[in-house]
Chain A
Amino acid sequence: MGSLPYAADAESPLKPAELQVLRAQYEKEGPYISLQTKFNYSWGLIKSSSRPDQQEGVLLLSDIFKTSPERRRECLYYLALGNYKLGNYAEARRYNDSLLELESGNLQAQSLGQLIDEKVSREGMVGMAIVGGVAAAVAVGVGMLVRGAQRKR
C-alpha cells in the first residue's frame, strides 16, 4: 500500500474554491464516476471543518469501500480517520483495529490508534469529571434532604 496521510493532514481544510472544483468534477462525471474523482471529493469533504460535510465524506468513503474490493484496506484507514475527526471513536477504533489486524506494520494506523486512545480517555475523563461532579452534587443534595427529613422526625 502506498503512503497514507497522517492524521494532521485531515485537519487542514481545503480552500472553498478547491472544494468547489472537486465537487464540480464529481457531479460532472454522472453515473459512471471514476474512483479517483470520488475519493478526491470525499477526502476534500472530510478535510473541511463543517460537520455535515465530514459526514457526507464518510458516507462516500463507505460507498467506495463497498464497491471496490481492491481498495478496501486503504479505505479502512481513511474511514478510521474520518470517524476520528467526526468523534465516532468506537467506529474509528473498529476500523483501525481491523486494519492493524490485516497489516500490523502500518505506521499511520498505529499512530492513529494512539490518537484515538488519547482522545477517548481525555473526553472520557472530562465526561467522567462532569458526571462525577453532578453525581456528587446530587448525592450531597439527597443527603441534605434525608438529614432534613430525619431532623424533622
Chain B
Amino acid sequence: MTGRGRSTSPRRQPGHSRQASNDDNISDTRQIEAFGRTVQATASQLIFPGNDQHGTDPYKSALTSVQRQLRRPLIQRSVFSFTQQSPRELLRGKFSTSEVEHRALSYIPQELIRTAPAGQSPFSLFEGFKASLPDTEDDGRGGRRKRHGRNGSKLLEGPQEHKGPPQLVKMKRERDKLDHRLEMMGIRKTMCASEIREIDTKIANMNTMRRVVLERLAGLEQEEHDMEVEIGDLAERVAEMQEMLEDEEALAKQSPSLIAEGEAERRAADKKLETEEDDEEAEADMDASFMSESIYGKLPKAQESPRSKAKRRMPKRTISMPVLHEHMEPGTKIRELQAHNDVITAMDFDAPFGTLVTAALDDTVRVWDLNAGRCMGMLEGHLSSVRCLQVEENLVATGSMDASIRLWDLGQADYNPAQAAASNNITDKSSEAEDAEADKGSDAALFTPAASVADLASQPPPQGDAMADCHLFTLSAHVAEITALNFRGNTLVSGSADKTLRQWDLEKGRCIQTLDVLWAAAQAQTTTVNTSAAATPASESGGWWKSGAGRLRGSAEAAEQAEADFVGAVQVFDAALACGTADGMVRLWDLRSGQVHRSLVGHTGPVTSLQFDDVFLVTGSRDRSIRIWDLRTGTIHDAFAYDQPISSMQFDARRIVAAAGEDVVKVYDKADGRQWDCGAGVLAATAETTSRPSVVERVRIKDGYLVEGRRDGVVGVWSC
C-alpha cells in the first residue's frame, strides 16, 4: 500500500514538485519521520491483529488512516522530495561518510548564491579552458611537429612533383591553426586582466583592514603606556610603605618609648595617605608629620630617608615595547615638535616613543616625552651651548662649549604627566585643527596632537623645577669646548677642541686617561712606510688643522656655524675606541695601551659622525661622502656620495640615515640597497609649497624610529 501511495502522487501533480523542493529541506526529515511512524503503526496493526479494538477491520482502518496521512500537504511534499532526490542519492547522502564529508566541504550557503553579481568579463571560464587546452595539445605536438615537419618535408619532397594542392592545403590548415591559437591568446589575456582586477579589489579591502587593525594597535599602545605609569606609581608607593615599616622596626629596636610616638604619627600618616590624591603638597605634609626633628635625628638610615621624598619616577618601558612605528608605511610622519628657536646642535633619544633630549644654540637643553609630544623640562647648568649629548636609558651626558661634561639622571625628574596635560589642554584644540590640515596621512589621527609653535609661546614653562634634581656630577678637565662624547657602561670618552681625548670612569667621576691625538698622529706618521705622509710630518700635523679651518673660513657658506671640530665623533666599546678627526682620518685606539692600533685613511674632509658595530664602521664627513669600513680587514667596504657635507649619521639594524645638508633625511636601506629620502622635504617637494622646511642638521634612528633636528629648531619624528 505504501507503494500504491507513492505511485499515484507524481503522476497526479508533476507541477508541484518544482515549487515544493525549494524549501522542504528542513521539513523533509520531520515529515518523513512522521510518515515512517504511521507506516510502522499500520504494519504493527497488520501483524498483530489481536491488539486491535475494532476487531473486524483493522486492515481497512489502517489503510484509511494512511490515506488520510498521505493527503496532508506536508507529507505530499516530503514524498515529492523523494522524487527530487532519487533514492540512490538519498542513501548515499545519509550513509556514506565520504559522501557526507564531500557535501559538507563543498556546501555553499544560499546567501552567497543569491547575491552572485553579474559577471563583467566577456569570456567565461569555460572559454578560457578551451583556449588553454588546445595549447597543451599543441605544445605536446609542437616539439614533435618539427620532427614531423622534417620527416613530412622529406615525405612531401618525394611526391612534391605530382601533389601540389595537398601541400597548399596543409599550409592553409597550419595558418588557420595559428590564427586560432592567436585568438585563444587574446582570450587568455582578457582572462588574466580580469583576474588582476579582482586581485586589486581584494588588495584594497586588505588595506582597509590593515588600517583598522593599526588603529587598534595604536590604542592598545596608549593604554599600555598609561598602565605602565600607574604601575610605576604603585611600585613607588609600595617601596615607600616598606621603608616606613623598616624605619619603624629600627626605631623599635632603639627605644621603646619612641614607638608610641612613631605609631601615632604613622597612623596619622596612613590616614593622610588614604585620603590624599596624587598631590605633592600632601606628601610634603606627610614628611613633616612623620619625621619630626627628634625622630629624624635618631633614625639609623638618616642619610637615605631624605631621598625617599616622594618622587614621581618617570615611567620607563621595561615590559612593553612600542612597535607601532614598525607597522607604519616608511616615511610617515609621526610627530613634529618646535623644540627650540635656534639651530639644533645635539640630539639623542633612548627608545622609540621614549625620551628625547635636544640642545640648541640658544644654550638650552630640553627633555621631551616622545609618546605624548610634550616638553618635560630643561636641564640647566651649562654655561654655554651643548655641542654633543647622549641618552642611554635614564642617563644623559652632555658636553658643552664651556669645556665641561655633565651627567644627568632622568629618573630623578619630577615629571607629572597629569599636570602637564592640564596645562596643555588649552592649546590642544588649536593645535588639533592645525594638525588636521597639515597632516596628510591618516596616521595623524592616531596620535595626540603635537605641540606647535603657538604652544611653545603660550604654555607656561613646563615645571621649571622638574629636572632640578637630575644633575649627578660634572666632569671638567678639558680646557676647550667638548665636541664629541660617547659612553657605554661606566666608561665615557670625550673629544675636545684642545686636541685630546679623555677617558672617564662614571662611577667615580674621574678622568682615567688622556689621549693626545696629535702625538698619536705624529707617531703613526713616522712609523708608517707611507712616503707622502712621512715627507713633512711636522708641517703636516701642524698644517692640517690650520688648513682645515682655513678651508672653512674661506668657504662662502657663512650659514655653517659649526666649524670643523678637531674631534668630530667618538665611539667607545669596552676597550676599543674609534675617533674621527678633522684631518679625515679615523683612528682606532686600544684604551688599555692608549695607542692607535689602526688608522683608516680615505676621507678627504673632516669626519663629523661615526658609528661601529661588530662588523662595520660607518663614517660621515664634510667631504660629502659616507664610507663603510670593514673592521676585520680595515679596508673600505662601500661608499656613498651626496651633494652636501654630511653633518650627522647613524645606523640601526636595517638602515643608515644621514643628514646631508638638505631638508630631507637620506636613508640607505641595507637590505635592498635602496637610497631614498625621508622627511618633511619630501612632502614639500611634491606639494610645491613656497615655505620649504629647513635643512636637517642632526639625525638619530633606532629600530625604524627616526628623529631629525633641523636648523630652525624643529624636531621631526618619522617612521623609517
Contact = CB atoms under 8 A, between A and B. Distances in A.
A74 interface: yes
A87 B88 contact: yes
A59 interface: yes
A65 B112 contact: yes
A74 B122 CA distance: 12
B87 A73 contact: no
Interface stretch (B113-121, B245-253, B334-342): B113-121
- Range of interface residues on B (Cβ < 8 Å): 35 or more
A56 to B, nearest CB: 9
A151 to B, nearest CB: 14
B136 interface: yes
Interface stretch (B124-132, B558-566, B606-614): B124-132
Contact of A72 (B1, B21, B116): B116
A124 B83 contact: yes
A7 interface: no
B594 to A, nearest CB: 60
A21 interface: yes
A128 B87 CA distance: 8
A103 to B, nearest CB: 8
A123 B10 CA distance: 13
A142 B58 CA distance: 14
A135 to B, nearest CB: 4
Interface in B301-336: none
B106 to A, nearest CB: 4
Contacts of A97: 18, 22
Instruction: Give the dominant DSSP class at B's interface.
Output: helix
20 contacts: A36-B125, A36-B129, A40-B129, A40-B133, A59-B102, A62-B106, A69-B117, A71-B119, A72-B116, A74-B119, A75-B125, A78-B126, A94-B113, A95-B108, A95-B113, A120-B84, A123-B88, A124-B10, A128-B87, A131-B6
Interface in A124-150: 124, 127-128, 130-133, 135-136, 139, 142, 145-146
A124 B86 contact: yes
B132 A40 contact: yes
Contact of B133 (A17, A18, A89): A18
B422 to A, nearest CB: 53
Contacts of A59: 102, 105-106
Given A72-B112, A90-B21, 20 more contacts: A1-B118, A3-B124, A4-B126, A34-B192, A36-B129, A40-B128, A58-B106, A59-B105, A64-B125, A65-B108, A69-B116, A70-B117, A70-B198, A71-B119, A74-B126, A75-B125, A76-B113, A128-B7, A142-B47, A146-B46
Contacts of A87: 86, 88-89, 92
A53 to B, nearest CB: 12
B553 interface: no
Contacts of B89: 87-90, 123
A2 B88 contact: no
A93 B21 contact: yes
A91 interface: yes
A76 B118 CA distance: 12
Contacts of B43: 142
B10 A121 contact: yes
A127 B88 contact: yes
A78 B125 contact: yes
A94 B110 CA distance: 9
B194 interface: yes
Contacts of B137: 18
A55 interface: yes
B173 to A, nearest CB: 22
Contact of B125 (A71, A130, A135, A136): A71
A95 B43 CA distance: 39
Given A70-B121, A127-B86, A91 B103 contact: yes
Q: Which 9 A-B pairs give the minimum distances between C-beta atoms?
A: A132-B3, A2-B124, A72-B116, A127-B87, A123-B86, A62-B106, A135-B3, A39-B125, A124-B83
Contact of B87 (A4, A72, A124): A124
Contacts of A135: 1-3
Contacts of B188: 36
Contact of A18 (B85, B108, B120, B136): B136
Contacts of B47: 142, 145-146
B130 to A, nearest CB: 9
Interface in A97-126: 97-98, 102-103, 119-121, 123-124
Contacts of A68: 198
Interface in B180-206: 188, 191-192, 194-195, 198
Interface of A: 1-5, 17-18, 21-22, 34-36, 39-40, 43, 55, 58-59, 61-62, 64-66, 68-76, 78-79, 87-91, 93-95, 97-98, 102-103, 119-121, 123-124, 127-128, 130-133, 135-136, 139, 142, 145-146
Nearest to B105: A59
A142 B102 CA distance: 40
Contacts of A130: 87
Nearest to A39: B125
B640 interface: no
B49 interface: yes
A1 B6 CA distance: 41
A88 B89 CA distance: 6
Nearest to B194: A70
B29 to A, nearest CB: 13
B473 interface: no
B308 to A, nearest CB: 61
B122 A2 contact: yes
A120 B80 CA distance: 11
Contacts of A142: 43, 46-47
A28 B680 CA distance: 46
Nearest to B188: A36
A89 B84 contact: yes
A40 to B, nearest CB: 5
A123 B136 CA distance: 38
B126 A5 contact: yes
A134 B598 CA distance: 103
B82 interface: yes
Contacts of A2: 121-124, 126-127
- The winner among B3, B81, B82 for most chain A CB atoms within 10 A is B3
B3 A90 contact: no
A128 B121 contact: no
Contacts of A34: 192, 195
A89 B128 contact: no
A21 B136 contact: yes
Contacts of B127: 2-3
Given A74-B119, A87-B89, A120-B84, A36 B3 contact: no
A34 to B, nearest CB: 6
B118 A73 contact: yes
Contacts of B84: 89-90, 93, 120
Interface in B35-82: 43, 46-47, 49, 81-82
Contacts of B108: 62, 65-66, 79, 95
Contacts of B88: 87, 123, 127
A44 to B, nearest CB: 8
A108 to B, nearest CB: 10
Nearest to A62: B106
Given A55-B102, A72-B117, A132-B3, A123 B87 contact: yes
A136 to B, nearest CB: 6
Given A18-B133, A39-B125, A121 B119 contact: no
